Amino acid sequence: MTDAQENIECPITAMLELIGGKWKPIILYNLTSGTRRFGQIDVRIPGISRKVLTEQLRQLEKDGLIKRKEYNEIPPRVEYSLTELGESLSPVFKEMASWGKEHVLGNG
């Protein structure tokens, strides 16, 4: 097996195809603490635009990482939460958050 062939099945590359990008990890991380409405996610992620948030949520839904529940109410209510597959990412985000706290933000 050559280096190149080995990389075709690179697990990191594989994972990045699902959760790579500027916003997806932060969106998913926000959902690890439970179900949230669209507006709640929006306000918790400073800098993201509603357009992009919608796009990313749609992709995550398509990839089976989150579910979208729409209530038939006025004004509209839409709730997002992790699927089982999405939940299985928790250990990853836990490690990432722990590293970020300790080595970037400078507190344990």
| Contact positions vs a second copy (CB under 8 A) | 3-4, 6-18, 20, 22, 25-26, 29, 40, 43-46, 85, 88-89, 91-105
**Cα dihedral 38→44→93→14 (10° resolution):** 50
**Which residue stretches of 1-108 are H helix?**
3-8, 11-19, 24-31, 38-44, 50-62, 84-87, 90-99
Quote the least distance from Cβ 66 to a second copy, whole Å.
14
Cα 27 to Cα 48: distance, rounded to the nearest angstrom: 10
- Restricting to residues 31-50, name those near DNA by CB under 7 A: 37-40, 47-50
What does 45 interact with, of a second copy, DNA, none (CB < 5 to 8 A by kind)?
A: a second copy
Determine if 77 is a binding residue for DNA (CB under 7 A): yes
- What Cα–Cα distance (Å) separates residue 33 from each residue in 7, 27, 41? 34, 11, 11
- Restricting to residues 4-33, name those near DNA by CB under 7 A: 21-23
Residues engaged in binding DNA (CB under 7 A) = 21-23, 37-40, 47-52, 54, 56-58, 68, 70, 74-78
